[in-house]
Structure 1
Amino acid sequence: MESNLTVKAPTIHRARLAWSLYINYFIHGFGLIILAQNMTSLGAAWNSPLKIVSFVISGVGIGRLLSYLITGFLADLFSRKAFVLLGMSAYLAFAIGIPFSHNIYVAYFFAILAGIANSALDAGTYTTFVELNGGNGAATILIKAFMSAGEFVLPLLIAQLTANGLWFGWSFMTMAALVVINFVLILPLSFPLPNQSPAQEGSGEKKVKPNWVTTIALVLYGYTSMAVMIWFTQWISLFAADSLHFSDGQAHFLLSLYSLGSISGVMLIFALLKRNVKETHLLISMNVIAVLALLGVLVGTSTVMVQVASFVFGISAAGGIMQVGLTLFMRFFPHHRGMVTGVYYFFGSIASFTVPLITGVLSTTSMRAAMTGDLVVGLIGSALMLVVLISERGRHHG
């Protein structure tokens, strides 16, 4: 029997598989912003105002909310590869369908499909990286770097199309071509067996079972870790212009510094995880640093201080710490990694839906009130990670 099991074990081309999965997230970087970047052209194509185009974009968030729990649960029942291919197929349909849609209802369907693509890719990819690396989640952090690269390249491509008077749809066709090429590359590859408990944890720590307190704290962290980033990117420029009296250029530069910090944070966190720094220690320290950086933005007495604080906030809050939280969550539930991913990012999707509503209400008081709300969310996130750390230590000593 043992020899039969050995024969059935798939041969994994680790480097090829990892690169193909990362390329998917470069493409996903396109998918995150391609509708917003083409709003004017899409409005003209659909003969609709920008308000209607914005409504269509909201379909992406609806697609995520509808599908995260389902794809996460099913990814544990079926293969990871099936959900990666499902996500790629959905993105292909989206990329081809949107520029040829002449009806906003059809376009809304394709936008929902993009949200489903996002959730299917997450369910199949994050789990695969953890299983590919024996429980170590360092590789998942680089996903964010490839997403950022896609978000960087797409606006340059659209700017070139516009400058040369070319059809806006070529940006979607480029996305579709990348999906097809990567589909061909990934199709023959084998994936690791799903939901295998790692023989040895990357950090050599004793395995412990989570209690309900730890589980709830990590689920809620799925919300706060996403909310703190969305909150900042939505309001930092407006806050800087209104409350700090920055010029328009200075206010927008803060967001650029945040993005640079995010890329730097990815490299830093990846290096720390490779050195087997405990996820709980990393989560506590990065969340506390993010809170201090937000405090620096709010009470900044000089332009340089606010700029440094924005950069540090990018490193600590947007450098992949959300992915670290997911890796820790999956470590507690090694036989339900797909379901855990779905639940975690479902709460992240709730954040993307509710933060604009909450901040909109706060902004009626003042821009400072809106921005201070982000500090409160950061403090809640830090408290949740403190709960996880205390609970984990209690079980080790219990």
Structure 2
Amino acid sequence: GLLISRNIWMASICSLFLGNANSFNDSGSYPLLTEQFPEKPASMNALVKASMSLSQTILPLVIAAVHSAYIIIPAMAVMLGLLLLKVSVTNFGKNETIVKETVSEQKEILETSTNKPSVLIDGVGMVILGFTLSFIFYMYSQYAPVFAEKVIGSTPVFSKTLISWYAISSLISVFITSTVVRKVHPFKVLLAYSIVAAAMLAMMVVHPTPTIARLTSIAIGFFAAGGIWQVGLTILSRYFPQEKGRVTGYYSFAAALTYFVGPIVSTFILDDTAASLVHVFVLDVAVSVLGIIVMIILAVRCFKYKFI
């Protein structure tokens, strides 16, 4: 449909359905993988992020080499068709017994424990984290190159390399994070990663230099965009094991708000001055600090539960 669009309305409608399909895919794939591999849910969620990061790294290179949308879009449609065929013939019930035992065990702990997650506190808090975690790396990836040019005075070539460092670091982080969360409590990972990301953002605002900008790109890619969002989703799924699909939808919706709220807020802040770009990154730091505060509150509560 996108390929045969001849005006902005047709293209917008097709893009709307593509966005819907992507959200359906997220809300289905995360719970599915955690149920298929209940012994390592965080690693499975991180692998989804790894696939996304890999495609985000490769696709721009493909577009640069193949300039025609009439080749790239049909190729992507074929890939989606193959994916549909693969999913339709795959048996996802092989771990059904393990899934039932895991869910049953978690349900029994929840029912017998005096300390259990609260939807209004833990649930809403985790959804807020879904927004703050996404906001941090989305705003950085959108405005880091412009910040480098106007605030630091870097060349356009150097400014674009910041996103390359960000993407590479994000991809590396996915595999490291998937291993770390097996040995370290997920909330400890969330807190440590978020503090480092916030500190580097603040450092770039206070002392904007090319070296600091490059280090910040690496830090944001590794500690903010490299699977930490999926770690939060894993915690939320464990909190409410019988509502994996629903809570994934809420969590993903909060993240999707980033792509709506971020540009709108930026329009009220940005102008042609370097100071306005600094203000955007100050906002990013503020949101990251808010996320850390929410994490600390949830972490204190979390350590009373037996199943996380």
**Conserved? CA contact 2:148–2:210, under 8 Å:** no
The 5-angstrom pairing of residues 236-247 of structure 1 reads 236-247=144-155
Residues in 1 aligned to 2:5 and 2:143: alpha-carbon distance in whole angstroms: 32
Match of 2:49 among 137, 140, 144: 144
Residues in 1 aligned to 2:246 and 2:166: alpha-carbon distance in whole angstroms: 31
Range with bigger deviation, 237-246 or 301-310? 301-310
Q: 1:339 aligned to 2:246?
A: yes
**Conserved? CA contact 1:134–1:198, under 8 Å:** no
Q: 1:391 aligned to 2:298?
A: no
CA shift for structure 1 position 329: 0.4
Counterpart in the other structure of 1:117: 21
Which sections of structure 1, spanning at least 5 residues, go unmatched? Answer: 1-96
**Conserved? CA contact 2:165–2:221, under 8 Å:** yes
Residue 183 of structure 2 aligns to a residue whose secondary structure is coil
Match of 1:295 among 194, 202, 205: 202
Counterpart in the other structure of 1:350: 257
The 5-angstrom pairing of residues 244-283 of structure 1 reads 244-273=152-181, 275-283=182-190
**Conserved? CA contact 1:134–1:200, under 8 Å:** no
- TM-score with structure 1 setting the length: 0.69
The 5-angstrom pairing of residues 26-65 of structure 1 reads none
CA shift for structure 1 position 150: 1.7
- TM-score with structure 2 setting the length: 0.88
Counterpart in the other structure of 2:109: none
Residue 187 of structure 1 aligns to a residue whose secondary structure is helix
Residues in 1 aligned to 2:205 and 2:176: alpha-carbon distance in whole angstroms: 25
The 5-angstrom pairing of residues 86-97 of structure 1 reads 97=1
Match of 1:373 among 256, 276, 283: 283
Residues in 2 aligned to 1:200 and 1:254: alpha-carbon distance in whole angstroms: 46
Q: 1:170 aligned to 2:71?
A: yes
Q: Which amino acid aligns with 1:391?
A: R
Residue 210 of structure 1 aligns to a residue whose secondary structure is coil
RMSD of aligned C-alpha atoms?
Answer: 2.3
Q: Which amino acid aligns with 1:310?
A: S
CA shift for structure 1 position 324: 0.6
CA shift for structure 1 position 259: 1.2
Go from structure 1 to structure 2 and tell me whether the alpha carbon gap of 1:114 and 1:263 turns closer, same or farther (over 3 Å shift): same
Residues in 2 aligned to 1:314 and 1:265: alpha-carbon distance in whole angstroms: 8
| Cα distance per residue 1:161-187 (max 9 Å; x no partner) | 33xxxx422101110111222222221
Residue 153 of structure 2 aligns to a residue whose secondary structure is coil
**Conserved? CA contact 1:257–1:310, under 8 Å:** yes
Counterpart in the other structure of 2:135: 227
Q: Identity across aligned pairs (percent)?
A: 25
Residues in 1 aligned to 2:220 and 2:6: alpha-carbon distance in whole angstroms: 41
The 5-angstrom pairing of residues 56-135 of structure 1 reads 97-134=1-38
**Conserved? CA contact 1:294–1:310, under 8 Å:** no
Q: 1:158 aligned to 2:40?
A: no
Q: Which amino acid aligns with 2:5?
A: S
Which sections of structure 2, spanning at least 5 residues, go unmatched? Answer: 107-111
Residues in 2 aligned to 1:271 and 1:394: alpha-carbon distance in whole angstroms: 24
Residues in 2 aligned to 1:268 and 1:299: alpha-carbon distance in whole angstroms: 29
Number of aligned positions between the proteins: 292
CA shift for structure 1 position 200: 6.7
Q: Which amino acid aligns with 1:115?
A: G
CA shift for structure 1 position 284: 0.9
Residue 89 of structure 2 aligns to a residue whose secondary structure is coil
Q: Which amino acid aligns with 1:313?
A: I
Q: Which amino acid aligns with 2:302?
A: E
Q: 1:312 aligned to 2:216?
A: no
Residues in 2 aligned to 1:395 and 1:155: alpha-carbon distance in whole angstroms: 44
Q: Which amino acid aligns with 1:145?
A: A
The 5-angstrom pairing of residues 144-223 of structure 1 reads 144-162=49-67, 167-192=68-93, 193=96, 196=100, 197-198=102-103, 209-211=116-118, 212-223=120-131
Residues in 2 aligned to 1:220 and 1:256: alpha-carbon distance in whole angstroms: 28
| Cα distance per residue 1:48-68 (max 9 Å; x no partner) | xxxxxxxxxxxxxxxxxxxxx
**Conserved? CA contact 2:194–2:223, under 8 Å:** yes
Counterpart in the other structure of 1:329: 236
Q: Give the number of the structure with larger relative contact order, counting CA–CA contacts within 8 Å between residues 6 or more apart.
A: 2
| Cα distance per residue 1:248-305 (max 9 Å; x no partner) | 22222222111121112111101112x3321111111111111111122222364223
CA shift for structure 1 position 138: 1.0
**Conserved? CA contact 2:137–2:220, under 8 Å:** no
Residue 241 of structure 2 aligns to a residue whose secondary structure is coil
